[in-house]
Structure 1
């Protein structure tokens, strides 16, 4: 009983320790993100990567079933011993909190990738507009190169497994430019709960306890390569969503495959156009007319995909994830995905399209 109490109460000093270490960015970067974490990540990727299905999904399912079974079996004791039940919940949360940060979570406090790449700050609206125009030209060019017709949408002909393998090739080529983004020991899979993820509004996730990168298997192929690159970026120890959006783009755009390059250009373009629309709708509408019809059809494909799975619970799941991100050193929450735009603009000032 005293052991259970001790484990339950240990969550308090754990939280204080994490918040204290969270202010020591260089310490985290040196000893965790570039020290302990790569060993943990490579070990689990090597251990579980060869398994063709997601062991992490099965683990979550078993834990949920056990929790429901425990509550049902002990419903009488729970009602009469509420403090004991709350203590047990605190004990489970304490263990999960420790395991999460040890296995992956401390990466939320590492050095930002913009500093590592020595990228300057950029908030200039005209720079964004100029970069978006360049992206439109690249996206149109890539679309026409594949289809030979500006009015036909791109259909990526690869299987999901083939796209996983091509993503590895993209990372291999990217590591020649930025060696800290070298990816070894593949462990990226489609989630067993892809339908549930779609209804929740998620394109993928990293299981921090098994280090398996999960991609929503229901995604249209038009978006699949960049999402795979995004989740693999999480495996490299980058937790911030804007940074893994950026890494996923880099890994996909550096691929020699024409289809992958097209998806990367279109992915970046979508975020940039959204930022421009928030700033000036007239400029947004003018830029939209410059897009090939085939590109617009691919964007429409994604809108219709997500719209077909809209449901009343999706905002709740998004709100929960928003709170999770804010609790883990991402003050913008779910909006941090959109912060990739400043990274894209700054990067391509140093490395023009």
Structure 2
């Protein structure tokens, strides 16, 4: 009798999880349902930021630590023969709650109307990419003269608070024909508690859907940092796809009056273009890199040294798992910049 009851409980929670998979799959195909989730995102994001933004540490990271402890505890219970059934039931309950919460807070936003549909049609063209690369090379050179350096002559961000405020300010002036989302007014950027680990994973930052915090690795070279914050702020606006968040981050940074944000954005765009061109014309890419100013070359060397110091198994593992995650959410893998570059080309051509 007791065995049948336990079996029914396990079957119920396993079946409920499967039903959730099917339900959210169906809802993802219904534009009206996705739109409702977009509206709900605005509500929960605002609520969570009001609750958590005043705390100086990442509440989401604390949540992940506690979640990790609970998960390990339940796995130990499942391994133990005496507590296996109760452990498995509690684990299934946890999965159901987490999956449901994730989907209503964030997961359904991956099925919004793609930004590319808001831009004029234009086939990716290598020559257009090269022209843009030359344009952004010159912009990088000019903006680089305006930013601060450390004692080694490498670009350094010293005023992070002003940088964060500028990003929120630029959210409010995004082109209306592209962005119809409500700009943020609450500073909810948080340095991650996992910064040491992040440096070895290749993860620059992440949005926490459970607390609406934009977490970043405070150990990053300054060339990465401002654009990473702009990228994560795009997630806070409600752009779930990674390359669309890159594009919104680019729009936030390109016309900024903050030289640090503008330089980091221009440098990101230049690197993205060169990565896209590399498979077609490696010689051109090398010639562009050779034309970097001495200041840019120092920044590039500092980036390469940072990446080299932190390369290893974790970097490869997280790169692989992130690639799978992106593809499972109807995005390109992490190794390609083509969708961002496509958006960039279309926007730049329409702005001319």
Same fold (TM over 0.5): yes
Q: 1:144 to 1:239 in 2, by over 3 A?
A: same
- d(CA) in 1 for partners of 2:18 and 2:68? 25
Match runs of 1:1-353 below 5 Å = 2=8, 5-24=11-30, 26-33=31-38, 35-72=39-76, 74=77, 78-79=80-81, 85-116=87-118, 118-146=119-147, 155-174=155-174, 180-181=180-181, 182-330=183-331, 332-335=332-335, 337-352=337-352
Check the 8 A contact 2:231/2:248 in 1, yes or no: yes
- d(CA) in 1 for partners of 2:127 and 2:135? 12
SS in structure 2 at match of 1:214: strand
After TM superposition, the structure 1 stretch with the greater mean CA deviation from structure 2, 164-173 or 120-129, is: 164-173
Superposed CA RMSD in Å reads 2.5
Q: Determine which structure has the larger helix proportion and give its number.
A: 1
- d(CA) in 2 for partners of 1:164 and 1:115? 29
Question: What TM-score, normalized to structure 1?
Answer: 0.88
Structure 1 unaligned residues grouped into runs of 5+? none
**Per-residue Cα deviation, 1:97-151 (whole angstroms, up to 9, x for no partner):** 11100111100111112223x3424311111111111111211121235589xxx
Q: 1:225 to 1:243 in 2, by over 3 A?
A: same
Structure 2 unaligned residues grouped into runs of 5+? 1-5
SS in structure 2 at match of 1:279: coil
- d(CA) in 2 for partners of 1:70 and 1:211? 27
Check the 8 A contact 1:191/1:214 in 2, yes or no: yes
- d(CA) in 2 for partners of 1:75 and 1:36? 36
After TM superposition, the structure 1 stretch with the greater mean CA deviation from structure 2, 280-289 or 236-245, is: 280-289
- d(CA) in 1 for partners of 2:122 and 2:99? 34
Q: 1:146 to 1:177 in 2, by over 3 A?
A: farther
- d(CA) in 2 for partners of 1:81 and 1:337? 48
Question: What TM-score, normalized to structure 2?
Answer: 0.88
Equivalenced residue count is 343
Shift of 1:280: 1.0
Q: 1:200 to 1:147 in 2, by over 3 A?
A: closer
Shift of 1:299: 1.9
- d(CA) in 2 for partners of 1:123 and 1:69? 51
**Per-residue Cα deviation, 1:161-211 (whole angstroms, up to 9, x for no partner):** 332223223323436786525223231111111111111210011111111
Q: 1:147 to 1:9 in 2, by over 3 A?
A: closer
